A and B are shown apart, each in its own frame.
Chain A
């Protein structure tokens, strides 16, 4: 069964600090992995996309990594800001067929001043 597990479930950090969120998946055959950011009460927005051949991709202060061998991904946030407070959702897609991506439950990040 295709599954996406995220950790930690929630995280509280101080403004300016760095943090790393984890995503483990069992989705197969792998096509791509996206990290979405969901502000409270808003729709998720894609931050990055990782394909099989990519190890690292950055989007401003967000850096995603992918280890396709161990089926793990991480999202590193540098110099956190109050606006980073949100839920971060890992979403993995399979190749071909009916395109229904598998969503993780998300990591809730709270950045305190």
Chain B
């Protein structure tokens, strides 16, 4: 158990809909990262938050947005869903950004299926 909690574990929805994925980082971790993993693909970095502030953006679509709340949990919002958005979405946390060994602790992922 990594200590990172993601909900829901599975989600099935229709094209055009909007969903919210939730992540609770490990106790004490200030950084939260979101990754997308499509079938048989590598992990694609979406976005990072550190202590409530957005710090880095990767290949995140404009239809997607995220935020980190004062209690450090994070939400990833996916809207106007398309079939190609079907994937595993992982949240990871780390103690801090920048200096340090920077191990990422991953949650078990949220599997999104868009029909």
Contact = CB atoms under 8 A, between A and B. Distances in A.
A104 B42 contact: yes
Given A89-B43, A103-B43, A41 B102 contact: no
A113 interface: no
Interface residues of A, number: 24
A100 B43 contact: no
Interface in B97-114: 97-104, 106-109, 111
A100 B104 contact: no
A54 to B, nearest CB: 12
Contact of B102 (A43, A93, A106): A93
A101 B107 contact: no
Given A41-B88, A43-B90, A104-B42, A99 B108 contact: no
Given A103-B42, A106-B42, A43 B98 contact: no
A41 B43 contact: no
B15 to A, nearest CB: 23
Contact of B48 (A41, A44, A100, A105): A100
A24 interface: no
Interface in B16-43: 31, 33, 41-43
B64 interface: no
B72 interface: no
A29 interface: no
A85 to B, nearest CB: 15
Given A99-B94, A99-B102, A41 B111 contact: yes
A97 interface: yes
Interface of B: 2, 4, 31, 33, 41-43, 45, 48, 55-56, 58, 88, 90, 92, 94, 96-104, 106-109, 111
Given A32-B101, A43-B4, 12 more contacts: A41-B88, A42-B108, A43-B106, A43-B108, A43-B109, A49-B101, A89-B43, A96-B98, A96-B99, A98-B48, A99-B98, A105-B42
Enumerate the 7 nearest inter-chain pairs by beta-carbon distance, A residue then B residue, closest first: A43-B106, A105-B42, A99-B97, A100-B56, A98-B56, A103-B43, A46-B103
